[in-house]
Amino acid sequence: MSFQVFGIAVSRGVAIGRAVLVASSRVDVAHYFVAPGEIQGEIGRLLRARDAVVHELQTLKDELPGDAPHELAALLDVHLMLLHDEALTGSASQWIVDRHYNAEWALSAQLEVLARQFDEMEDDYLRERKADLEQVVERVLRALAEEQGDTPTPVTPRDFGGEDPLLLVAADIAPADMIQFKRSVFRGFITDIGGKTSHTAIVARSMDIPAVVGTREASRLIMQDDWVIIDGDAGTVIVNPSPIVLEEYRFRQRQSELERARLGRLRHTPAVTLDGEHIELHANIEMPLDAEAAVESGATGVGLFRSEFLFMNREGELPSEEEQFAAYKAAVVAMKGMPVTIRTVDVGADKPLDRLTVNELRHEHVLNPAMGLRAIRWSLAEPSMFRQQLRAIYRASAFGKVRLLIPMVAHLGEVRQILETVKKVQQQLTDAGHAYTRVELGVMIEIPAAAVMLPLLLRHVDFVSIGTNDLIQYTLAIDRADEAVAHLYDPWHPAVLQLISQSIAQSRAAGKGVSVCGEMAGDPEFTDLLLAMGLRSFSMHPSQIPAVKQRVLRADTQRLAAALPRVLDSEDPQAAAGKELVVARGATAAVH
């Protein structure tokens, strides 16, 4: 039966493929394909892990003391029975044969199928056995991880004669897990939870694959293997489409690929407006390897390196100074002399560190993570880690142009502490004989307080970068990751526009650099508006650069600036921009 699920469009384009349902708690399970010659070996790996768990549980049962509650023995019997049930390992083996899934993926795919069957059971007792099944699978997954034998070499679907594209469906995906999908087999994502600028959405966008979040119930309604169309522009998901609808979307998919190829040709065209203003189009990156995509897309620098992703999935061990230095240096070298803006860790809110690390640092009691020990607050609370990161960043400056960016600044006292720490770090590096060059210091404008007191902050820093994702969240008091208030997340809100516009004007008046690195910078809908406000430096995901550049090439900043007051004075700035800015652009657009 065909039906639609509606959500929030976060990453454009159309993806068509088969649904792979993954439980949120298991998105970190390895997902890769195995070659035909490795299938029997992979089934063997699965069965060995299963047998190891059977042995473990049987021993546990045999050694139960005589006075142990009999429920315990009964529970172990249930777990042993589940382990021997063909519906678990037998069907998981079938996933390996039919789909070439690795053992971990096959097992979690089968768990999803069975979990649904349990959910639908009338009998309470049987329905509750789902938790037992999950525990059993958890044990087998652990046994697979502990197995000493070789794991197969991942292959691509092309290596075994093609496979339908796969689209991931999950209730939620944490940004830390999402980052692991960067080079994965999935060609699109659908989640129940999340807002347009949640970090999960941001990472999906950086992967440049269609995604829809905040659907509330996709993971419940979509079945394993269903045919699914993700319309990443409209934010809709079409499940089991009719042949006519499928054909229509295949056509749109081809059109959008052609459009991308056309825009891609602008890669080497300098971003200069019709009235001769040079515009910097920088890239936002999460990992040093992303710098390659940045150069490829024609970025003239990195405007935001979200260094916190180096601190995730660490299981308690944070990256050392050497590891960080190597990562920053790699990005700096890849950018070949173009500036690289490295932001110090912005952990907290929807980017928590993993549990082990949090326990280690004793920051576990977080009442309201978005307003708690986040970003620079975390760094200042962990001074030795902060110094370590600063040393690594400064050392990378010996290999190119590095800029230092501090997230979530709200107090002058924080800026003073940062400046003092920088001085201390420079001295440490000099004493240790490490080379470094001048590094410009910038702060992010993400908290309304920082925007309101910007002239004071500007006395101490070289540049500012406006983080519109958080600036909108904190100005409008809505959680950017919460789909329940996603309709209130409004970049066009007059208060938001006033803060952005003032920040740009004040920075320029003070002769300091100003850029926008929030998602607004990469959305062509806002390019004219930001140019009208005087912005000359934008930072966005590499894949967004061509579309924004096209807007820049058609813009006349003087005409746009003249129309700006009418937009800012309007009670409906979005409608006013639609009228005023289009008119300002209209006369010149005809030239192209």
Q: Which residues bind ligand PEP (CB under 6 A)?
A: 202, 304, 306, 346, 446, 467-470, 517-518
Of 83-91, 219-227, 465-473, 488-496: span binding Mg ion (CB under 5 A)? 465-473
Minimum CB–partner distance for residue 284 and ligand PEP (Å): 7
Q: Does residue 177 bind Mg ion (CB under 5 A)?
A: no
CB 341 within 8 A of CB 396: no
If the CB atoms of residues 202 and 312 are measured against ligand PEP, the closer one turns out to be 202
Place of tokens 């959405």: 201
Q: Which residue has the tokens 């004793």?
A: 362
Comparing C-alpha atoms, which of 542, 58, 193, 94 is closest to residue 335? Answer: 542
The option from ligand PEP, Mg ion, none interacting with 518 (CB < 5 to 8 A, set by class) reads: ligand PEP
Considering beta carbons, is residue 295 or 370 the nearer one to ligand PEP? 370
The span from the CA of 390 to the CA of 345, in Å, is 10
CB 68 within 8 A of CB 42: no
The residues in 428-447 that bind Mg ion, with binding defined as CB under 5 A, are 446
- Report how far apart, in Å, the C-alpha atoms of 534 and of each of 11, 251, 517, 521 are: 27, 39, 15, 13
Q: How far is CA 66 from CA 62, 63, 73, 75, in A?
A: 10, 9, 11, 16
| Tokens found for residue 425 | 């770090």
Structure tokens at 540: 């966005």
Nearer to ligand PEP, 304 or 576 (CB): 304
Closest to ligand PEP by CB, 281 or 304: 304
Which of 194, 210, 339, 467 touches Mg ion (CB under 5 A)?
Answer: 467
C-beta nearest to Mg ion: residue: 470
Please, which residues have CB within 8 angstroms of residue 41's CB and are 6 or more apart in sequence?
A: 152
According to the binding rule CB under 5 A, does residue 470 interact with Mg ion? yes
Instruction: Please report, in angstroms and rounded to a whole number, the separation of the first and last CA atoms in the chain.
Output: 46
Q: Which residue has the tokens 């409906």?
A: 572
Partner whose footprint covers residue 38, from Mg ion, ligand PEP, none (CB < 5 to 8 Å by kind):
none
3-state helix vs strand vs coil in the chain, percent to 5: 55, 15, 30
In the list ligand PEP, Mg ion, none, the entry touching 143 (Cβ below 5 to 8 angstroms by class) is none
CB-wise, 172 or 470, nearer to Mg ion? 470
306 binds, among Mg ion, ligand PEP, none (CB under 5 to 8 A by kind): ligand PEP
Nearest to 182 by CA among 288, 323, 331: 288
Tokens at 294, concatenated: 């940045």
Q: Which is nearer to Mg ion, 230 or 450 (CB)?
A: 450
Query: Residue 285: which H helix or E strand, with range?
Result: strand 280-285
Nearest distance from residue 393's CB to ligand PEP, in Å?
Answer: 17
Give the Cα separation of 484 and 214 in Å (integer): 8
Residues 402 and 332: beta-carbon distance below 8 Å: yes
487-493's contacts with Cβ under 8 Å and 24+ in sequence apart are 489/195, 489/196, 489/197, 491/520, 491/526, 492/573, 492/574, 492/577
Q: Decide which of ligand PEP, Mg ion, none touches 543; Cβ closer than 5 to 8 Å per partner kind.
A: none
Pick between residue 379 and residue 468 the one whose CB is nearest to ligand PEP: 468
Residue 386 three-state SS: helix
d(CA 519, CA 533): 17
Catalogue the active-site residues.
199, 517
The binder of 286, among ligand PEP, Mg ion, none, by C-beta within 5 to 8 A per type, is none
Q: Residue 513 binds which one of ligand PEP, Mg ion, none, with CB within 5 to 8 A depending on kind?
A: none
Residues at the contact surface with Mg ion, assessed by CB under 5 A: 446, 467, 470
